[in-house]
Amino acid sequence: MRHFLGPIAAPVTYSRWLHLLIPGAVVSVWLFISMDTPWVPFVLAVPAGLLPVFRLAEGVQAQLLLTPAERGRPDASISAAPAATWAERWRTVAWLQVRLLLATAAGFATVWLPATTYDLVCAATGAATDMDWVTGLFPSRWLYWPVAPLPLLVLLGLIVLCGEVATAAARGLLGPSPAERLTALEERTEQLLERNRIARELHDSIGHALTVAVVQAGAARTAGDPDFTARALAAIEETGRNALDDLERVLGVLRESGPAASRRPTLVEADRLLESARGSGAKIDVAMTGPLKLVPGPVSREGYRILQESLTNVLRHAGAVPVRVRLAVVGERLELEVTNPLGGSPHGRGGGSGLRGIRERAALLGGEAVTGPYEGEWRVHVSLPMDHIR
């Protein structure tokens, strides 16, 4: 019973009923004009379906009434776009033929089955009726009462069936083409990649700022030196200001239709990170080799975030310890290495989402990242190719 009543109670059943009745009204009007030529609407549907815009109109209407839950979704099973090929035009013609057949059946059922129920009720009450076969159907008029609702139940079942058939036909004949499916898949992939990139941006930028602020605040609290406290507060202020700039930039990417990669910091601005780490008490030894300004934008931007995450991990897990930073442009590769004393560092190759983010950034550029203990120290070594980015 629940399996039968579920579709009847579903709102989509009645939106599909409306979808069936729209062309049914056209067929009824034509039959009123010329009862002898019921085939004319089917013939006129052929040139109409060959118009590219007609597929768009049918797709929009089918999405709205047949599959309202999918309306506006990029992965909708019914396409809402003009016909781009002759194959899509002929499929639109076939869809119109199926729709007219279903509409004719649903239209007649919508008119005659309720009328049959009315006549059965008239026969049960002794009222006059135009359907002679009804009056002689049962020997007693009381037997008409249990039969009277049956045509309405048949109508609802027929509407559910016609709606399911129409939906299946629309998905098969108005569904997206392979090219449209590929485009939708590429769009979803781009959205997922962009979300992951934004998540990494927030993790690296805000995580670095909070780590520096926590380290500076803890050191100022225990130092008992007004000058040191003043310097720590200044470092926290500067780090917080930079973090707000990064946050505003990432939020700007979310508001806009496309990413604004050109505004992301690059390795040319690495001094900002190094000074921030020094302000937290870390002793930074830096060696830069090669023209960093010539590093391609994507490599330089990802390299900046990798360096930021590496320094954040040092401050978070090892505190104010000596850190060696090596940046080198060697041939067509960018080599980046950050090392610090092993004590307190996150052990294991998979320790933490930050290390995973470093490896993901390197992999996206076709490079490689090695993180973990090395000769008594904790080392992050990243090698990024530049030749295929230019």
Query: What dihedral do alpha carbons 81, 255, 304, 189 form, nearest 10°?
Result: -20
Confidence of residue 18 (pLDDT cuts 50, 70, 90): very high
C-alpha span between 354 and 310 (Å, rounded): 8
Longest dimension (CA), the chain: 109
Q: What is the mean pLDDT of residues 385-389?
A: 72
Three-state SS at 10: coil
- CA 202 to centroid of chain Cα atoms: 20
Query: Running DSSP on this structure, what letter comes out for residue 373?
Result: E
Question: Nearest to residue 322, comparing CAs of 355, 278, 373, 279?
Answer: 278
Who's near 124: CB < 8 A, 6+ residues apart? 141, 142, 144, 145, 148
Q: What is the pLDDT of residues 80-115, one digit of tens each?
A: 889 888 888 999 999 999 999 999 899 889 988 998
Give the global pTM: 0.49
Distance CA 250, CA 207 (A): 14
pLDDT at 16: 93
pLDDT tens-digit readout, 293-346: 888 888 888 888 889 888 888 887 887 789 999 999 988 899 999 999 876 544
Measured on CA atoms in the order 231, 237, 240, 244, is the torsion positive or negative? Answer: negative
d(CA 7, CA 1): 11
Q: Is the pLDDT of residue 198 over 80?
A: no
Per-chain mean pLDDT for the chain: 80
* pLDDT (0 to 100) of residue 179: 62
Opening angle at CA 328, ends 201 and 302, nearest 5: 15
Q: Which of 74, 302, 77, 298 is closest to 191 using CA atoms? A: 74
